[in-house]
Chains A and B, each alone.
Chain A
C-alpha cells in the first residue's frame, strides 16, 4: 500500500448515494424499454452504401441522378451550415472565456456569481 496515492482505485463511500438516482432512472428506463414491443427492423437495402447515402443527405444531392442503391434521407445542408456557424461561435466563446484578465476588472467575464463585485463592495467574505 505504499503507492496507494498514485494508483487509480475504486473509492466507495457516502458520496455515491446520489448515484442511486441514476440507478433508479436506469431501472425505470429498462423496465419501459423491455416491456415495449417493436416490430421487425426495416434494415437497409441490400448493397446500398451507407456512407455515400449520408454524404448525399448531408449536401442535398439529387439521389435520382446517382448510380447504385441509396438509402433515403432528408436534406441537411442548412443544418450543416448552421452547425458550422455554431462551432465557430463555440471556438470564439472558448477563446473569449479562456483569455486572462488584463489587469483588475479589465475585459474578461465576471462569471463568479457576482462574488468579486460583492467582495469589492463589502470588503470581505461572509
Chain B
C-alpha cells in the first residue's frame, strides 16, 4: 500500500484542479461548463473523498506516511545543519480523519450548492465554484502539511478564500464589508502566528510536526536538558516555549473565532449559506483547532499555554452562547453556536482532552454542516428571508429538512444519544477530572463549559421551535418553496451522521462496562509514537482525580450536563413551542441590549482602531513623511544642488575642456609621483 500514499498530494490537487478549470471558464467568459462549474468541483471533491477514505483505511491498517515532497528554499545557518523550507505530506490518524471530514463536508456542500446557487439562478457561478475549489484545496493542504511553515502558507490561503467567498455578493453593501472584516480580523491573529512560525524555526531549526527531528520532540528533549535550542529575550526554555506557543495561538484564536477575535464570524454570515457551512464545519474555523491538535506535543509541555487555551475556550463557549440566545436571524444563531462549540474544543485541548477535542471536531463538523445546510434549505424555502420571526410551522411542509435539522439540533444541544452528547460530555469529563487533579484553573473552565450547556440547548431549540413549530407567521412560511434532491440528499447523509457519529467514541460506556468501544481513542493512539494520545498524556502536566471512583464521576458528569441541557430545552419549549410565540427578550431588561450588541465587542474594537491605532498610524505616517522622507529628500537635494552647480563646467568651449584635461593629467602625474616617493 506504500504506493497509495504517493497519491496523497492528489487529495489536495484535485480540488485545486477544479479551481483552475473554473477560473479558466470564468476567464473565457463563456458558459462552457454545465451547472456553472459545479460538476468539476463535485467530481474533484468526490475523488478526494474516495482517496481520503482509502488513506484512512491504510492508516487503520497501521501505516503512516511522512515525506517531504518539495524543498523550495534552503540555506546554511551558522552553527546548525542548515535550514530547509519544504512542502511535505504527513498522514497520520489525525490528518487522515480530518481529510475524511473535510472532503466529505466539501463534497456535500458542493452538491448542496447545486440547489442553493444554481437553482436559485445566481450569477457568477464559475467564480463561486472556483472559490469553493480553492477553499477546499487550501484546507486539505493545511491538513496534510508536515511542517509549520507549510501549514502557515495554507492557513493564509484559507483566509484568502474565506475573503473571496464571504464577499461573493460583492455588489451588495454588506458582504464586501464582512469579507474585509473577516480578512482583517483573522489577519491580526495571523500576524502573531507568523511571528510564532519564525520563532519556532529560529528556536528549533525545524518546523516538522512528526518524526524524531520534529520541534515538539525537540521541545520535550530541551526541557529534559537533552537537546540544545536557541531561546531569545533572555528567557528560560519553558518560558520561551510558552511565549512561542501563545504567538502561534494568536493565529488559532483569529481563525477559530475565539474571544476576543470572534467578531468576524457572525458577520461572515453575509456569505452564501453553503459557504458558511464549509467555513464553520470543515475548513476555516476548524483550521485553528486542528493546528493546536496537530502540534499538541508542543503545547503539552507548556502548562501556562494549556491553561490559557482552556480558559479562552471555556470563556468563549459561554460568552458566545449568551449572545446567541437573542438573535433573530437563523444563521446568526448558528454563527454564535459555532464560536461556542469551538470554544469547547479549545477547552478540551487546554484541559488535556486531545481525543475529546478531536471527537468534538468530528461530530461538530457533521452536525454544524447539517444545521447550516438545513438553514440553507429553509432560506431557499423562505426566499432568502432569514428572520426566524417570519417563519414558523415549517415542520409539516418540509419534513426532510425538519427531521435532519432536529437531529443536528439535538446533537448541538448535547442530548443523549446524539453525537454531540458524547463528544461534549467527554470534553466536560476530561476537564473535570483533570481539574480535580489539582488544577483549579480547569475547574473554572469546567464551570464555564457547564454553564454554556443549558444556554446552548436553549438557543438551539428556540431556533428550532421558532422556525418549524407553531403557526406560520408569514405567507412565505405557509407556502414554502419546495427544495430539490440536491438539498435533501446532503441533509439526509449528514442527519444520519449527526445522530450516529457518537458511536466512534463511547468513552463513558467503556468506563462503565469495560467494553472497548472508544474507537477514536484507539485510532488516535496509533501511528507516530510522538503523536499518540498516550504520549501526550505522559507529557502533559495533568493528573486525574475522581469524585468517588471513575464510574461515579462519569455518571455524575453526564447526568449534570444532560440535566442542564434538558433544562435549557424545557425552557425553550415552554417559551417558544406555542402556536404564536412572542418575544421574551424584554424580560432581560438592560441585558438585552448588551446581548443584541454583542457586548459592544465591535464598538470597542472600532474604538481601539479609531482612537489608538489610527493616531499611531498617523504619527508613523508623519514620522515617515518628515524624518525618513526628509532625510531622503535632503540627500537628493544635495545631489540636485551640486549637480546644478557642477554642470557649469560643461561650457561648450573646447579650449576649456582641453585645459581641464591638461590640468587633470598634470595633477595625476604629480599624484603618482608623490605616491611613488618624490617627496621622500
Contacts and interface: CB of A to CB of B under 8 A. Distances in A.
Direct A–B contact present (CB less than 8 angstroms): yes
Contacts of A31: 673
Interface in B635-668: 652, 655, 659, 662-663, 665-666
Contact of A32 (B652, B655, B659, B673): B673
Nearest to B658: A18
A113 B652 CA distance: 10
B667 to A, nearest CB: 9
A29 B221 CA distance: 78
B666 A18 contact: no
Nearest to A15: B655
Contacts of A21: 659, 662-663, 666
Contacts of B665: 25
Interface in A66-100: none
B669 A22 contact: no
A32 B676 CA distance: 11
Nearest to A113: B652
A92 B655 CA distance: 28
B670 interface: yes
A22 B659 CA distance: 8
Contacts, number: 22
Interface string A26-38: 0011011000000
A24 interface: yes
A28 B673 CA distance: 9
Contacts of B662: 21-22, 25
Contacts of A29: 669
A18 B669 contact: no
Nearest to A17: B659
Nearest to B660: A21
Contact of B659 (A18, A28, A113): A18
A69 B663 CA distance: 46
A22 B658 CA distance: 10
Contacts of A32: 669, 673
Interface size class of B (residues with CB under 8 A): 10 to 19
A113 B655 CA distance: 17
A123 B127 CA distance: 61
Contacts of A113: 652
The A interface is mostly helix, strand or loop, or mixed, namely helix
Interface residues of A, number: 10
Contacts of B655: 18
Contacts of A18: 655, 659
Contacts of B669: 25, 28-29, 32
A28 B663 CA distance: 11
A25 B666 contact: yes
A28 B662 CA distance: 11
A45 B670 CA distance: 38
Nearest to A19: B659
Contacts of B659: 18, 21
Contacts of A22: 662
A29 B652 CA distance: 28
B7 to A, nearest CB: 70
A29 B662 CA distance: 12
A37 to B, nearest CB: 14
A18 B663 CA distance: 10
Interface string A1-33: 000000000000000001001101100110110
A25 B666 CA distance: 5
Contacts of B673: 28, 31-32
A113 to B, nearest CB: 8
A15 to B, nearest CB: 9
Interface string B175-210: 000000000000000000000000000000000000
Nearest to A25: B666
Contacts of A28: 666, 669-670, 673
A25 B663 CA distance: 7
Contacts of B666: 21, 24-25, 28
A31 B679 CA distance: 13
A30 to B, nearest CB: 11
A32 B670 CA distance: 9
Nearest to A21: B662
A85 B430 CA distance: 100
The residue in B666, B670, B673 that gathers the most chain A C-beta atoms within 10 A of its C-beta is: B666
B618 to A, nearest CB: 48
A31 B652 CA distance: 33
A18 B670 CA distance: 19
Contacts of A25: 662, 665-666, 669
B632 to A, nearest CB: 35
Nearest to A22: B662
A5 B343 CA distance: 111
A29 B666 CA distance: 8
A14 to B, nearest CB: 13
B250 to A, nearest CB: 65
Nearest to B663: A21
Nearest to B662: A21
B243 to A, nearest CB: 69
A64 B663 CA distance: 49
A117 B670 CA distance: 45
A18 B673 CA distance: 23
Nearest to A18: B659
B654 to A, nearest CB: 12
A118 B615 CA distance: 54
B58 to A, nearest CB: 79
A113 B651 CA distance: 13
A18 B651 CA distance: 15
B304 to A, nearest CB: 77
A95 B19 CA distance: 72
Interface in A41-57: none
A22 B670 CA distance: 14
A106 to B, nearest CB: 27
A17 to B, nearest CB: 9
Contacts of B652: 113
A102 B669 CA distance: 50
A25 B668 CA distance: 10
A28 B665 CA distance: 10
B587 to A, nearest CB: 88
Contacts of B670: 28
4 nearest A-B residue pairs (beta carbon): A21-B662, A18-B659, A25-B666, A28-B669
Given A18-B655, A21-B659, A22-B662, 19 more contacts: A18-B659, A21-B662, A21-B663, A21-B666, A24-B663, A24-B666, A25-B662, A25-B665, A25-B666, A25-B669, A28-B666, A28-B669, A28-B670, A28-B673, A29-B669, A31-B673, A32-B669, A32-B673, A113-B652
Interface of B: 652, 655, 659, 662-663, 665-666, 669-670, 673
22 contacts: A18-B655, A18-B659, A21-B659, A21-B662, A21-B663, A21-B666, A22-B662, A24-B663, A24-B666, A25-B662, A25-B665, A25-B666, A25-B669, A28-B666, A28-B669, A28-B670, A28-B673, A29-B669, A31-B673, A32-B669, A32-B673, A113-B652
Interface of A: 18, 21-22, 24-25, 28-29, 31-32, 113
